[in-house]
């Protein structure tokens, strides 16, 4: 059986900078071996969904802006860096970067958390189109969309770490 410390060490960052999710899943006995991406994801998502609205908001706020200041400063987590680079967000033209910066600022002002999208399989144009569409949502709809995207990101990260179930 995997220890609590090992589980948190391996999966505590699957939900960006939010190890409490892995801790609670372990404490609830929700993690069963053999560890599979589907099994671990199901346990972590159950905890995430049961967390308070403030805790889920904190998870959203832990995510970096797309092509934002942390990316420029080289301060993204390794997972976020790879995900953003895979979508070409590390190779934006000055005009594209300016548009991302403008949208990031407007989005955070409107919703109180950064724009979150699972970028795997998407290009910068796909991401910009989603950004342009989603900024028109109301806060409740966007909170629901962002939390669903966080869950999708977590699954993609787990699939790169564990066999599928």
Q: Is the pLDDT higher at 82 or at 138? A: 138
* pLDDT for the residue numbered 84: 72
Question: Helix crossing, 78-86 with 139-159: angle to 10°?
Answer: 100
Q: What is the pLDDT of residues 72-95, one digit of tens each?
A: 545 556 776 677 777 787 788 889
CA distance 37 to 59: 20
pTM reported for the whole predicted model: 0.89
- Which sequence positions are flagged as catalytic? 63
Number of helices (H), then strands (E), in the chain: 9, 0
Q: Are residues 15 and 152 in contact, defined by beta-carbon separation less than 8 angstroms?
A: no
69 — pLDDT class (breaks 50, 70, 90) = low
Is the pLDDT confidence value at 104 over 60?
A: yes
The per-residue pLDDT of the chain, averaged, comes to 90
| Contacts with 97 (C-beta within 8 Å, 6 or more apart), sequence order | 67
Distance of CA 127 to the CA centre of its chain: 14
63-152: what fold? Answer: UraD-like (1.10.3330)
Per-domain residue ranges for the chain?
Answer: 4-57, 63-152
* pLDDT for the residue numbered 70: 44
* pLDDT for the residue numbered 126: 93
Least confident segment among 18-27, 48-57, 69-78: 69-78
| Contacts with 115 (C-beta within 8 Å, 6 or more apart), sequence order | 65, 66, 103, 104, 107, 108, 131, 134, 135, 146
């Amino acid at each position: 059986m995997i220890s609590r410390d090992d589980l948190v060490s391996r999966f505590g960052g699957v939900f960006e900078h939010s190890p409490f999710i892995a801790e609670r899943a372990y404490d609830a006995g929700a993690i069963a071996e053999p560890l599979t991406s589907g099994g671990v994801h199901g346990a972590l998502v159950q905890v995430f969904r049961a967390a308070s609205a403030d805790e889920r908001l904190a998870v959203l706020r832990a995510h970096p802006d797309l092509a934002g200041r942390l990316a420029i400063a080289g301060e993204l987590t390794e997972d976020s860096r790879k995900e953003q680079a895979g979508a070409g967000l590390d190779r934006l033209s000055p005009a594209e970067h300016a548009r991302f910066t403008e949208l990031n600022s407007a989005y955070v002002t409107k919703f109180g958390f950064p724009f979150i999208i699972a970028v795997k399989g998407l290009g910068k144009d796909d991401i910009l189109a989603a950004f342009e569409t989603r900024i028109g949502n109301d806060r409740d709809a966007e909170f629901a969309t962002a939390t669903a995207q966080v869950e999708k990101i977590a699954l993609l990260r787990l699939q790169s770490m564990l066999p599928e179930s």
